[in-house]
Amino acid sequence: MTPAISAYPWAWAWTVASAVMAAVLLLAAGGSVTPLTFAMSVAGFACLAGLHRLYATRRPDRVLAAVTGGVAVAMGSAMMAGVISLMAARLGAPLADPWLAGADAALGIDTPRLVAAAAARPWLSYGLGAAYLSSFPLIFAAIVYFAVTRREERLWELCAGFAGVMTVCTLISAATPAVGAFAHYALSDDILRALPPGAGLYHLPVFEAYRSGAWATVDFTRLQGVVTFPSIHCGLALMTAYAFRRDRFLAWPMAIWNGVVILSTIPIGGHYVIDLIAGAAVWAMVATLARTPLGAPSGLPQAVMPERASAIHGLNVQASAQQKVSDARLRRA
């Protein structure tokens, strides 16, 4: 079974799992959703999933099947992960910042010094800010790119990684809520002013509003990432670079750019270094699972597994050619 075939059901399985866990945490945390934005989000997901099914089976179109399916998985899992992370904050587990900072110290890493070094170089800090903000747009751009270039195996590998990392990282955050390195170390105003606006603290007002109990309702038009540990951005950067590993022209540019994204998670995302290690571990686990068979390959639409359809077509052509040669020999005999 190829990675393309195994990753396809994993992508949808993670999406379903994220929806189930979002519902569980809503109940556990006593939260709710705004009916209109929830209905709009569900309708958008259902429309994309329905179009994917249409173009994968009844009206086969490889590009449209890949685009609609990939965007459905990414959009659906991202929305549900947003709900999980906000409800996780409401559960009120003890802050993990003391032991996260201790882990960095045990590794010999002075996180505030790393932030100060970036702040002292405005060209660097603003470049890192641009890289940090590119993570999610790059995922959706990659989905379209792999669909148009008909590399569905890479697309579904990326989607399975995205949905899995979003789900697992947000679930872990329920037990490891954190305000982040900037707030924990109380970095000086001079450092904060030298960085892009909101760097390291952008998530804090929303995180504290849900954690304190002041907010309980999720508005799907205003979802905000609040996860510190593990680092979702690190996982996104690794999966994006990995997806392009065999691209003739983009492999190295994507590897370098996503390396910059990982660096940006400290001075822009407000992460501890241990967050990155954990984020990388989550991605490695999810990527390994995506190569493991989940369900029967025969149950997958051929439009999302063209390598299988091509192989079958090739065998049919080969068998036909062999039959013609055999018939010709019989006629000569």
Give the start-to-end residue ranges of the domains of the chain: 3-218+225-327
* pLDDT of residue 17 exceeding 60: yes
Specify the pLDDT at position 294. 79
* pLDDT of residue 311 exceeding 50: no
Q: 3-state SS string over the chain?
A: CCHHHHHHHHHHHHHHHHHHHHHHHHHHHCCEECHHHHHHHHHHHHHHHHHHHHHHHHCCCHHHHHHHHHHHHHHHHHHHHHHHHHHHHHCCCCCCHHHHHHHHHHCCCCHHHHHHHHHCCHHHHHHHHHHHHCHHHHHHHHHHHHHHCCCHHHHHHHHHHHHHHHHHHHHHHCCCCCCCHHHHHCCCHHHHHHCCCCCCCCCHHHHHHHHCCCCCEECCCCCCCCCCCCCHHHHHHHHHHHHCCCCCCCHHHHHHHHHHHHHHCCCCCCCCHHHHHHHHHHHHHHHHHHCCCCCCHHHCCHHHCHHHHHHHHHHHHHHHHHHHHHHHHHHHC
Both tokens assigned to 31: 């939260």
Cβ(270)–Cβ(200) below 8 Å: yes
Specify the pLDDT at position 11. 98
* pLDDT of residue 330 exceeding 60: no
Both tokens assigned to 267: 């001075």
Predicted confidence band of residue 320 (pLDDT cuts 50, 70, 90)? low
Least confident of 116-125, 203-212, 240-249, 288-297: 288-297
Predicted confidence band of residue 326 (pLDDT cuts 50, 70, 90)? low
How confident is the model over 191-220, as pLDDT tens digits? 999 999 999 999 999 999 999 999 999 999
Cβ(259)–Cβ(241) below 8 Å: yes
Predicted confidence band of residue 315 (pLDDT cuts 50, 70, 90)? very low
* pLDDT of residue 117 exceeding 50: yes
**pTM of the predicted model as reported, rounded to 2 decimal places:** 0.89
Cα 87 from Cα 64, distance rounded (Å): 34
How confident is the model over 73-106, as pLDDT tens digits? 999 999 999 999 999 999 999 999 999 999 999 9
* pLDDT of residue 313 exceeding 60: no
Specify the pLDDT at position 328. 55
Mean pLDDT of 234-238: 99
* pLDDT of residue 2 exceeding 90: no
* pLDDT of residue 331 exceeding 70: no
Specify the pLDDT at position 74. 99
